[in-house]
Amino acid sequence: MVPVNLTLVAGHRMRMIAPASKKASGLMQAFALSPRHLHTAQARRHSAPEKNRRSYATHVAKPNGKKTLVLLGTGWGSTTILKTLDTSNFNVVVVSPRNYFLFTPLLPSCTVGTTENRSIMEPIRHIVGRHNKDIRFYEAQCTDIDPEAKQLTLQTPSDSTARISYDYLVVGVGGTYNTFGTPGVQEHALFLKEMQDASKIRRRLKDTIEKAGFEGTTEEERKRLLHMVVVGGGPTGVEFAGELHDLITEDLSKWVPGLAKQVKITLVEALPHVLPSFDPKLVKYTEHTLRKNGIQLMTGTTVKQVGPTSLVVRDTKSGSEAEIPYGNIVWAAGIQAREFAHTLRSKVPIVQNNARGLIIDDHLRVRGARDIWALGDCTVSKNAPLAQVASQQGKWLARAFNSMAKERQIGDAYASIAAKAPFVYSSRGSLAYIGGERAIAEIPAFSTSITAGGPLASLFWKSYCLWELFSVRSSMSVATDWAKRALFGRHISVD
């Protein structure tokens, strides 16, 4: 779905964007350490008990006396902060295992080759460079925090750990898929949250179709292999089902017409209807379009168990259960906070007692943890986990920090930001692609909203995606992908 006006332990080194000091070299340059901290890190390295794990006690050098603001994550919220924040007032450090911003509204299209992966991946260094931001970037996973000492433990992709200090912390680590404890989901289902997930789905689809075409494959086995099940009737599930339909009708029908006719798509949703957050008229139109496109809808149906070749579903009204064979199952049924959010929760368990994520107030402050703010899918608030919510939160928080710096109240940011008007989310509407060159749109207008569905809405959806992408380069790449698909079809080969 495109919301309108959207808003370390492994071998790679930690990288930074800010120019390294001339004195920095070797590990000091890689970790952006001052000489004093470099000696500490080297001493710990030589005394480390584990052969393959290195631990560095570090601090971000502050030669200019500025406060250190650490941003965790490179998603919608954190990236919007980077674009809006006046970084000259702070020592800004960004920590994320992902060195790029991912334009998630087009992620489902990457699963079938409508859009190529790199077209929707915007390197953080490009974003920072275009806005002349002076920041450090650490490609690492934040695994632990000491809120009292204001220290973070980082884990690199090279099985090394480091600790950095902060004055202010913004947590924007996002969310991950939620299995709801359903047996077998983790082991057998495919997910659609990151670019790696989209690539895995694309490879699995290709392998399954190739296997179904083998001469030795029985008719029963072929029928199972060509049954694609999507669990979750939200925007991600509906858009993926629509993209899968397009792949079958536009490309597979040309290259393997015999198999294309046998492919079956089933969409399973626990609620009575798909896309429950949209206007009922658009929901009705979406369900009609999906069924017209040959997609079987199983609404009011929950998944009880997922096996290697079949899943068990239960009708919520009658209570009856059925076993459904499948070739691939994509789980898009919900999200939950990532592990770091739960780690932070454990540091203030009395206040942070919601298992769904970090409890924040109206000023995005993490309750019970001073000088820590959080936004996006890792939080629990009255706002829905949408990209435009995180984007608006990021812009609001960046402006609050800018205002605080302008008023020279940096010494007590926690109280200064709390004195400002609270964050208020303003919905700009929603868009969703539903397949067959059709989309739905719901745009607020005064006291009501404008709704539309069909080819024109699809054109609006595409236009908005091109407008909302973070760079001209990305917009041109996506537009080129769409043009190549229209002229020559999708590139169906997979590495």
User: Can you read off the two tokens belonging to residue 47?
Assistant: 């005394």
Per-residue pLDDT of 113-127, as tens digits, reads: 999 999 999 999 888
Distance separating alpha carbons of residues 48 and 51, to the nearest angstrom: 7
Distance separating alpha carbons of residues 457 and 183, to the nearest angstrom: 39
Q: How confident is the model at residue 35 (pLDDT cuts 50, 70, 90)?
A: very low
Q: Where are the alpha helices (DSSP H) in 293-421?
A: 339-347, 387-406, 413-418
- Partners of 56 in the β-ladder: 162
Question: In this predicted model, which residue has the larger pLDDT, 22 or 391?
Answer: 391
Return mean pLDDT, the chain: 87
pLDDT at 15 over 80: no
- Return the amino acid letter for 475: S
- Partners of 316 in the β-ladder: none
Distance separating alpha carbons of residues 426 and 430, to the nearest angstrom: 12
- Partners of 230 in the β-ladder: 267, 330
* Alpha carbon distance, N-terminus to C-terminus of the chain: 28
The residue-averaged pLDDT of 349-377 equals 90
| Structure-derived torsion over alpha carbons of residues 458, 106, 468, 489, reported in degrees to the nearest 10 | -60
Per-residue pLDDT of 279-316, as tens digits, reads: 999 999 999 999 999 999 999 999 999 999 999 999 99
pLDDT at 187 over 70: yes
The confidence score (pLDDT) of residue 446 equals: 81
CB 295 within 8 A of CB 245: yes
Per-residue pLDDT of 158-180, as tens digits, reads: 889 999 999 999 999 999 999 99
Per-residue pLDDT of 213-271, as tens digits, reads: 998 999 999 999 999 999 999 999 999 999 999 999 999 999 999 999 999 999 999 99
Share of the chain above pLDDT 70, in %: 86
CB 309 within 8 A of CB 273: no
Q: Quick one: 487 exposed, middle or buried, by C-beta within 10 A (0-12, 13-18, 19+)? A: exposed
- Return the amino acid letter for 55: S
| Residue in 132, 55, 63 with CA at minimum distance from that of residue 91 | 63
User: Can you read off the two tokens belonging to residue 462?
Assistant: 């595409």
Distance of CA 325 to the CA centre of its chain: 30
User: Can you read off the two tokens belonging to residue 295?
Assistant: 């997609």
| Residue in 203, 207, 249 with CA at minimum distance from that of residue 226 | 207
Question: In this predicted model, which residue has the larger pLDDT, 4 or 451?
Answer: 451
Per-residue pLDDT of 43-96, as tens digits, reads: 444 444 444 445 555 555 555 778 999 999 999 999 999 999 999 999 999 999
SS (H, E, C) 383-407: CCCCHHHHHHHHHHHHHHHHHHHHC
Per-residue pLDDT of 455-484, as tens digits, reads: 999 999 999 999 999 899 999 999 999 999
For residue 455, report the phi and psi dihedrals to the nearest 5 degrees.
-60, -40
pTM of the model: 0.85
Parallel, antiparallel, or unpaired: how do β-strands 227-231 and 328-331 relate?
parallel
Rounded (10°) angle between helices 280-292 and 235-247: 30
